[in-house]
Structure 1
Amino acid sequence: MSLLRLTSKVGRQVLNAFEHSQSRSVTYMPRPGEGATKTVTLIPGDGVGPLVTGAVEQVFDAMHAPVEFERVEASGSMKTLPKEVLDSIKKNKVALKGGLKTSTGGGTSSLNVQLRKELDLYANLVNCFNIPGIHTRHDNVNIAIIRENTEGEYSGLEHEVIPGVVESLKVITKVNSTRIAEYAFEYAFLNNRKTVTAVHKANIMKLADGLFLDSCRAVAKQYPGIKYNEIIVDNCCMQLVSRPEQFDVMVTPNLYGTLVANTAAGIAGGTGVMPGGNVGRDYAIFEQGASAGNVGNEKILAQKSANPVALLLSSAMMLRHLQFPSFADNLEQAVFGVLQEEKILTKDLGGSSTTQEFVDGVIARLE
């Protein structure tokens, strides 16, 4: 029996406590050890990362959250992850992370990918939903995008055959495709979702994406109460920008998940407001849900106007994972209250407020 099945009872108990909210989500893995206060690894990251992780620290301090942060340093400019970073996460089981810049080209391995592989964080979860106060072209958007996180085009198997000719290998396995499908269907079951959609390109990559689809179909048979369908990735992107309300839970191979999550985030308010995290059997790292494109934005950094909403909402997911649902509710309500008032908004949301001004607004609304 899979671990996802073993933790279903706990997941249902947690779900019952907060099923009234669209943004609720649970993770399916062993919980951290019992105790009044939890220690969480904090990786500030690059660029605006320290600014938004600092925002979380201020809010946690203001609401007296039973969480202690153990700060460790990592930067996208490093070739490998520092040992103290991995040791801290393996000890604490849970981490909160700012963005780590990934260089374009040059053959340098991404620290984000290293973290996922080293800790086997096989599932990436991004929640894309409408938030009151953030005006978008579409209503009724509430999509959970679940992406396989350890293989596919991110396997890092590239080599130059002859000068000017490079081969890049895409790896799809039945084991990893099955476990991400299990995660997606179990997520749908525990969160009262109705449909799981598998995103693929099996019309072209018949063996690789075909194996992914076969795995999803096999798992779907174990969940007769959840509707299952499939969509080709290019049509999926078109459907997302035209009728996003048709999607519920989406499960994707690695690369497609990045494209789909960022498209969906743009529909629902931008990457600056979408929470998410990377989870596995033993560890969880919570961070901004969609790609942090403003990590190295010098103008935003100079103006100290980075949007902290995504990381604040991700930290609420973390609080719920740590079994502090009342603190998570309090934090979410404060963030949504500031956004709905539409007086304190960062530039990406049409305002001119700084990160600190938004944080002050959230703290003022905490119960």
Structure 2
Amino acid sequence: MKKITIAKGDGIGPEIMDAVLDIFHAAQVPLEYETIEIGEKVYLNGHASGISSSSWDSILNNKILLKAPITTPQGGGYKSLNVTMRKALGLFANIRPTQSYFPFVASNFPKMNVVIVRENEEDLYAGIEHQQTDEVVQCLKLISRPGSEKIIRYAFEYAKKYGRKKVTCFSKDNIMKQTDGLFHQIFKEIAAEYPEIQSNHMIIDIGAARLAAKPESFDVIVTSNLYGDIVSDIAAEVAGSVGLAGSVNIGTSCAMFEAIHGSAPDIAGQDKANPSGLLQAAIAMLFHLGLADEASKIQNAWLKTIEDGIHTPDIYNEATSKQLVGTKGFAQAIIANLGQNPTQLQPITPPKDAVISIPITTPKKPKVKSLVGVDIFVHQANRNADTLALQLQQATHEAGIQLKMITNRGVKVWPNGLEETFCTDHWRCRFEWTSQSNGNYQEVVSLLQTLYSNQIDVIKTENLYAFDGVPMYSMGQGQ
């Protein structure tokens, strides 16, 4: 019998977790439970991350965590436990199914049934930020080939296992041609391996607009971390059923399952909370563990309960609901419906193999990498690009490297910049090798020494490389 770790959390967490466990017990789910304490009490007892070392041991031993919502205390530098767990446990994929249960739950989109598959570890959420001048703060966007391959392949495997017909990629590669361009390119590569599944790509802005206006046109959406965070909340809001949605976080060895809503302390202990979000996450956990029959049995009983109009206060509607119940009453109604199927909502049947596994990512053959120049970032309060260019040229006139371009906030301002372009104190100065120079790191070091000796405030450098002869760095806007 498989043992999993459970965390009852804060606020309504204990109530909804008890409801889920009551349903599991009645459905004879073959699991054992090891309970850990995480959240507000642990934070206030001196653990800044909200989790103790013994709780980490339980999760690492059992590999599966079913987690109710927690409360993070305000102020005091407390860190988000969700983010900590996702990164520490290598939970690279976040999966959020969002479905309409019209007409039993109010929705403007009765045919909506979309799954958001979100990369969970990198992108801007790497959290690498710096302030190096008075006026500009920067954040580093990281997109890796291994990270993109894992999440995109997972999306196609999910579609394959669960009978989904189409996978759509969201990116912004018309602007971020290197980072989002890599994500889109890998999507095309992997899509070619699944000819039986339709695939298409959309720019994130129009894709998000289309999701809000015509969600029924999507099936599975795969995207990077920030975009996925935004569009999954759009999907939940559009469906009108935030309290009915579960969230799945998958890694190569561990997995975490949770509701997408918070701990709702204002209704804690009042038997008003809807346990559906946590139950949906728990059902996804059963599929992940290969317990598809039990998962389908509970899911169909839940659908039958929704269809019967037995509703908690958050979804109760006098026009469509028949009975108002609390947390315990809703769980008991599901238990009474075990073994039954809905008649109007679509029942689910157990897939032959619901367990998704993806191959270990193998590194590609390294390309020939050559250093072709360097971007040097300068803090300069004087907002005149021509003055800065003259200063840089005078300092480097004998070097084997040449100033080619200056940008400000990405816009080319030298040579031939426009007076109308507003500039801050943060300048990118691009140097490339002259024809007489072979290009090496010593040239960069010498250049930096020269600039420092001329009192030029260098705040950062980025080496410019070509891979197999192809320049792999962005042009200046207007270049």
TM-score computed with the length of structure 2 as normaliser: 0.64
Q: State how 1:168-317 maps to structure 2 within 5 Å.
A: 168-288=139-259, 291-292=260-261, 294-295=262-263, 297-317=264-284
Query: What stretches of structure 2 of length at least 5 have no aligned partner?
Result: 340-479
Q: 1:133-168: per-residue Cα shift (whole Å, max 9, x none)? A: 223111222211100011112212234435775433
Amino acid at match of 2:251: G
Aligned to 1:321: 288
Q: State how 1:1-367 maps to structure 2 within 5 Å.
A: 37-75=1-39, 77=43, 78-80=47-49, 81-101=51-71, 108-131=78-101, 133-161=104-132, 166-288=137-259, 291-292=260-261, 294-295=262-263, 297-350=264-317, 353-367=325-339
> CA shift at 1:192, angstroms?
2.5
**SS of match in other structure, 2:33:** strand
Q: Distance in 1 between matches of 2:230 and 2:115?
A: 14
Q: Distance in 2 between matches of 1:253 and 1:97?
A: 24
Higher deviation after alignment, 314-323 or 163-172: 163-172
Higher relative contact order (CA 8 A, sep 6+): 1
**SS of match in other structure, 2:141:** strand
TM-score computed with the length of structure 1 as normaliser: 0.82
> CA shift at 1:103, angstroms?
6.6
Q: Which runs of 4+ in 1 moved over 4 A?
A: 102-108, 162-165
Contact 1:347 1:353 in 2 (8 A): no
**SS of match in other structure, 1:276:** strand
Q: 1:90-148: per-residue Cα shift (whole Å, max 9, x none)? A: 21121211123457887643211111111111111111122352231112222111000
Amino acid at match of 1:85: S
Residues 1:45 and 1:298: Cα distance change in structure 2 (over 3 Å) = closer
State the identity %.
Answer: 37
Q: Distance in 1 between matches of 2:76 and 2:217?
A: 40
**SS of match in other structure, 2:140:** strand
Residues 1:338 and 1:280: Cα distance change in structure 2 (over 3 Å) = same
Contact 1:113 1:154 in 2 (8 A): no
Q: Distance in 1 between matches of 2:287 and 2:167?
A: 23
**SS of match in other structure, 1:303:** coil
Q: Distance in 2 between matches of 1:307 and 1:173?
A: 39
Aligned to 1:15: none
Amino acid at match of 2:288: H
Contact 1:344 1:357 in 2 (8 A): no
Amino acid at match of 1:79: A
Contact 2:106 2:240 in 1 (8 A): yes
Amino acid at match of 2:245: M
Aligned to 1:27: none
Contact 2:152 2:222 in 1 (8 A): yes
Query: What stretches of structure 1 of length at least 5 have no aligned partner?
Result: 1-36
Q: 1:259-307: per-residue Cα shift (whole Å, max 9, x none)? A: 111111222232211233111111111112xx31x42x33222533221
Q: Distance in 1 between matches of 2:185 and 2:73?
A: 35
Structure ranking higher in helix proportion: 1
Aligned to 2:351: none
Q: Distance in 2 between matches of 1:250 and 1:102?
A: 30
Amino acid at match of 1:69: Y
> CA shift at 1:179, angstroms?
1.2
In our comparison, the structure showing a higher alpha carbon Rg is: 2
Please tell me the root mean square deviation across aligned C-alpha atoms, in Å: 2.2
Higher deviation after alignment, 263-272 or 99-108: 99-108
Q: Distance in 1 between matches of 2:74 and 2:229?
A: 16
Q: Distance in 1 between matches of 2:145 and 2:75?
A: 30
Contact 1:122 1:279 in 2 (8 A): yes
Amino acid at match of 2:48: K
Contact 2:310 2:333 in 1 (8 A): no
